[in-house]
């Protein structure tokens, strides 16, 4: 699967209900049993996914997406959403989930809970699934923009 925006998220951006630069935008990690990579139809909030399978290792927390900007790319007729590095410090696998790995990052609009939080983007461009092994994990967005419309 490639990085992508969820269909409902695109509509929310166009309706003006998501402000990339000013809303509470967070990131979470999902493991290999997730359905966030295959589900899109009727997905409006995080609780709509059949299986979120959020990472549950020690020291793990959802993080704020830092330094968010929107850039007009007139040469390529696109608007680009960018952000700073996404960093999770010293996260380790939970004993019960050690056999499963981190598969992707979900960027979402944090509205106060799974029944309100809007999934925006599925990101797996960092390569194959991996086990964090207690190390700092850094995702560096592509210089051409996190997502383009």
Three-state secondary structure of the chain: CCCEECHHHHHHHHCCCCCCCCCCEEEEEEECCCCCCCCCCCCCCHHHCCCCCECCCECCCCEECCCCEEEEECCCCEEEEECCCEEECCCECCHHHCCCCEEEEEEEECCCCCCCCEEEEEECCCCCCECCCCCCEEECCCCCCCEEC
Among the ranges given (40-44, 67-71, 126-130), the one the predictor scored with the smallest mean pLDDT: 126-130
Would you place residue 1 in the very low, low, confident or very high pLDDT band (cuts 50, 70, 90)?
low
Mean pLDDT across the stretch 67-72? 94
Task: Output the pLDDT for position 133.
Answer: 77
Q: What is the mean pLDDT of the chain?
A: 89
More confident residue, 100 or 43: 43
Mean pLDDT across the stretch 12-37? 95
Mean pLDDT across the stretch 1-18? 91
């Amino acid at each position: 699967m490639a990085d992508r925006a969820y269909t409902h998220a695109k509509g929310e951006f166009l309706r003006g209900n998501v402000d990339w630069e000013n809303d509470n935008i967070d990131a979470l990690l999902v493991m290999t049993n997730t359905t966030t990579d295959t589900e899109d139809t009727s997905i409006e909030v995080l609780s709509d996914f059949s299986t979120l399978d959020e990472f549950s290792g020690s020291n793990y927390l959802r993080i704020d997406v830092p330094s968010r900007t929107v850039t007009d790319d007139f040469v390529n007729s696109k608007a680009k959403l960018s952000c700073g590095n996404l960093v999770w410090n010293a996260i380790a696998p939970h004993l019960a989930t050690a056999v499963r790995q981190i598969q992707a990052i979900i960027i979402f609009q944090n509205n106060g809970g799974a029944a309100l939080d809007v999934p925006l983007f599925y990101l797996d461009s960092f390569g194959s699934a991996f086990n964090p092994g207690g190390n700092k994990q850094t995702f560096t967005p592509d210089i051409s923009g996190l997502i383009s419309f």
